[in-house]
Amino acid sequence: MSPSVPLQEMIRAIRSARTQCEERGVIQRECAAIRAQFRQVDNGARSHNLAKLLYVHMLGYPAHFGQMECVRMIASPRYSEKRVGYLGAMMLLDEKQDASLLITNSIKNDLSHSNQYVQSLALCTLACMGSAEMCRDLAPEIDRLLRASNSYIKKKAALCAVHIVRKVQDLGELFAPAARSLLSEKNHGVLHGAVVLITELCERNPETLERFRKTVPDLVQIMKGLVISGYSPEHDVAGISDPFLQVRILRLLRILGRNNEAASDAMNDLLAQVATNTDSTKTVGNAVLYETVLTVLDIKSESGLRVLAVNILGRFLLNNDRNIRYIAMTSLQRIVGTDHNAVQRHRGTIVDCLKDQDASVKRRALELSLALVSASNIRSMMKELLLFLSSCPPELRAQAASGIFYAAERYAPSQRWHIDTILHVLTTAGGDVRDETVPNLIQLITNASELHCYTVHKLYRALLNDISQQSLVQVACWCIGEYGDLLLRGECQETEPAQVTEDDVLDALETVLQSHMSSPATRGFALTATMKLSTRILDNVDVIHVGYEFSSALSLKLQQRAVEYNALFRKYDHMRAAVLERMPVIEKNSPGHTNGESAGEPMKEIQPPKVKQGEPLLPQQPANQVCDLLGLLGGSEEPLQPSPAPGLSLNTASTAGGDLLDLLGGLEPTPPAPVTVYEKDGVTLTLSCEKQSDSVLTVTLTASNSTDSDMSSFTLQAAVPKSVQLHMKAPSGDFLPARGAAKVTQMVVLNNPNKVNLKMRIRVSYTSQGSAFQDTVQIDSFPGLSAAGH
Amino acid sequence: MSHDNSKPLMRFLLLFSRQGKLRLQKWFTPMSDREKKKIIRDMTTMVLARQPRSCNFLHWKDLKIIYKRYASLYFCLAIESQENELLALEVIHRYVELLDKYFGNVCELDIIFNFEKAYFILDEFLMGGEIQETSKQVVNRCIESSDMLQETMEEYMSKPAF
């Protein structure tokens, strides 16, 4: 067929444009010309123009002005114009456009055209972009064509019917009988279309599925014919007779055999035959085998057949073609739950695929390997997985690390193995592990008490080696802090003896503290570890030094910590030993406890940070109560540092237990409920207070007006005993609307450094209904303070 | 078996050059122009970024993307996630064979300058997102006959050849 010169000239012109701008210019000119042509009544070159427009459209330029031209062309009696018109309709119109409805009539006419190629255009277009309305309209016509036409039209009508059913589900019933009879056709195109149609009907309607189960023997026959028949030139693809049809039939068989013993039995032999006879040297054969495997695994097949299917997948894993390896993995992944033992038999091959060059295959191999880990193979599998981790692509590291942790947790044969494994992961991929790894590992370590010596030696050595992996460094610091004495002891039955001096240890921690690679959290760990060592080793002069340096560190947390530690050395040296005592075994808690939070930080971080710099913090609890605290909190990393909770300093030791609970409840002492201190003439004044420190108290006064008239110029004035300092903050407003519609709040900050008996006199003044009012109230007791006002 | 599952085997087919220039687009489900543009961008970016010896399958949203390079053209076919990838590769290959038979040693330029023929051939091979005709010879014969019909009609109209 000779090419369209005008079209090709335009294409050439567009392609020779050197810049985007030039191209736009050419296209604008062409489109203008095309538009002009469209306006002409009779024009022999109409199809060329539309074709040009379609080309322009494909380059990404707007072409909607061609929509009506498509409609006109489709209605033309000329085949060449119809051809391009229908193509244009498929490219420019979709069911959402109104113009698409305009072609319904043309399609209807063309469906009964005398020429099959014209019919074909209509069928193709309908199946491509027919809206639900059009489908409803034309369905009877399609059904007619399904029954009485030549093969060429029947096959197209079948796919048209598929489209119709997808758009208008109820019409499925209309096509079911015709679909059934099409199965006896010989023409492969028609058969294929019929199978697709039946599949569609069965997937949509369970009753239809039931009825079509009866076709299983027919389908089996057809398949047999394809599989064992001789060479058929029409349909041969590399020795397989019509693989497309075979796959489609296998798919239908799968749907019919699912959850049905009888149907599955009827196809059992056939599936075995296909599985064994299909030539697997080329992709096309493997495509059929693959579909067969999927079918076998999905229906109620005999166990022998299932094993056969899994073995095919196992063979696929050894195939040179990486596509085949990849789909084998995805299939095995799907069945690793249901056919676990069968998949386990291929574990070796799967593990080998961890070394595959292809990233997708590697990923699948990882997922599958993790799924295949069990108590019996944990040691060998972990060896492979750790090997994989050290060389795996970066995007898979996090997944590998977490998978390894999970497997280790479930199947660890010993605690030492578990710790070793985690350490290995931290050394190789410490940057890719999740945050909770650090507390989890710490918890694990504390639980393996016989291994403390071994662990701290190993971690110390790891620390000397590399301080860049933050999670590893954090755990190492924690361990050195806790078990530093074991480290200094020198021998440990599990590792080679090493002589570690106190200076060595302190140097190691100092390196961490000073390194630019260490994050603030890591530095915190190192600092705390250094402090702890002060009670575990003998010389501690340097230790104090280190802490002092950090009291001017940039990180607030670090600064706070350093200052507190300094205090521990100065004013509270007698407490130090108790506070820095060895941690008890940490219970494994449910998430939501410290383990779930970023518990790399010591407890102090989640205390209300109300400490002023330089102010010493008072350790309120004697040593035994520290342990109780830990028991109650269950899972803190640090002994509870002296808390800044204000209420404690004002209470006597006898109420220590109660305060402990207060401390724990919500971690912030909840302010007591507001107390009504004044109620007169519709004005209600409530008072609540909150301790900010042991001498500072914030009092909040809330006023409301329950009368029927508004109050304006509402002010509160306060007076306190001489030694108490008073600071009134700006009130929220001075207008109290009637009927308690809104409130006025006034904050008062009191500083009572001499701890005198706290009293406050409040004067209330306001204007209501034109008159001024004034009243005074004295407050002798504040909620939350004891009667003595402390 | 929910009817939502029922979608055609193929969602879309794209042909583009190594520079990402689109040469053919066939959409098997209705989509807005904006969606189409985005998909084209995503596909070209993803596929062109692939290493030379990677496997031909990608995951993208809820679809499997099967792609293969033939000379200077990438063929990119999106199929539903439960469909057979190996067969999709065969579909692509079959289309290339059909083009090759029609144009005789087909190259990218053929598809550029005769894009409408590429569509006509495609429309004899696939329909509504499913395979329409499984025999190469049948498709070739039909295309030839349609072309003949077009020519005779043209002669009949006594207009100069294109």
* A760-768 sheet: strands from edge to edge: A711-719, A760-768, A771-779
Kindly identify which residue of chain B lies nearest to residue A204, measuring between CA atoms: B3
Whole-number mean pLDDT of chain B?
90
Record: contact A3-B130, CB cut-off 8 A: no
How far is the C-alpha of A230 from the C-alpha of A240, rounded, in Å? 10
User: Quick check: is B110 in a domain?
Assistant: yes
User: Quick check: is B99 in a domain?
Assistant: yes
Domain, as residue range, for B91: 10-157
Phi/psi of residue A201, each to 5°? -65, -40
Q: What is the pLDDT of residue A666?
A: 41
CATH of the domain at B123: 3.30.450.60
Number of domains making up chain B:
1
State both tokens at B109: 């330029």
Q: What is the pLDDT of residue B51?
A: 86
Alpha-carbon separation of residue A385 from A351, A371, A441, A444 (angstroms) = 8, 12, 19, 21
Helix (H) or strand (E) holding A726: strand A725-728
| A31 CB-near residues (< 8 Å, 6+ apart) | A53, A56, A61, A65
Count CB atoms within 10 A of the CB of residue B9. Answer: 22
Long-range contacts of B147-155 (CB under 8 A, 24+ apart): B147/A1, B149/A79, B149/A115, B149/A117, B150/A1, B150/A79, B150/A80, B150/A83, B151/A1, B151/A2, B153/A78, B153/A79, B153/A80, B154/A80
User: Quick check: is B119 in a domain?
Assistant: yes
User: Quick check: is B101 in a domain?
Assistant: yes
Q: What is the pLDDT of residue B79?
A: 97
- CA triplet A156, A143, A210: central angle to 5 degrees? 95
Record: contact A15-B112, CB cut-off 8 A: yes
Q: Per-residue pLDDT averaged across B29-46, rounded?
A: 93
Q: Which residues of B touch A152 (CB under 8 A)?
A: 142
- Closest alpha carbon to A627 in A584, A576, A577: A584
Alpha-carbon separation of residue A257 from A197, A203, A204, A301, B162 (angstroms) = 17, 13, 16, 9, 55
How far is the C-alpha of A46 from the C-alpha of A78, rounded, in Å? 11
User: Quick check: is B102 in a domain?
Assistant: yes
Mode of pairing for the β-strands spanning A683-691 and A725-728 = unpaired
Interchain CB contact of B57 with A (< 8 Å): yes
Nearest beta carbon to residue B56 from set A60, A291, A323: A323
Q: What is the pLDDT of residue B55?
A: 87
Positions in chain A short of pLDDT 70: 1-5, 41-44, 490-497, 538-553, 587-672, 784-790
Q: What is the pLDDT of residue B157?
A: 52
User: Quick check: is B1 in a domain?
Assistant: no
Interchain CB contact of B56 with A (< 8 Å): yes
Contact between residue A790 and residue A650 where contact means Cβ atoms under 8 Å apart: yes
- Residue to mutate among B12, B90, B144, B152, with most A CBs inside 10 A, is B90
- CA triplet A690, A693, A699: central angle to 5 degrees? 30
3-state SS, residue A667: coil
Record: contact B55-A203, CB cut-off 8 A: no
Interchain CB contact of B24 with A (< 8 Å): yes
How far is the C-alpha of A410 from the C-alpha of A111, rounded, in Å? 66
**A405 Cα to chain B: minimum distance (Å):** 27
Q: What is the pLDDT of residue A751?
A: 87
User: Quick check: is B5 in a domain?
Assistant: no
Q: Which residues of B touch A208 (CB under 8 A)?
A: none
Interchain CB contact of B71 with A (< 8 Å): no
Interchain CB contact of B155 with A (< 8 Å): no
Q: Which residues of B touch A323 (CB under 8 A)?
A: 55-57, 85-86, 89
User: Quick check: is B3 in a domain?
Assistant: no
How far is the C-alpha of A48 from the C-alpha of A466, rounded, in Å? 72
Record: contact A200-B25, CB cut-off 8 A: no
3-state secondary structure A149-160: CCHHHHHHHHHH
Q: What is the pLDDT of residue A572?
A: 74
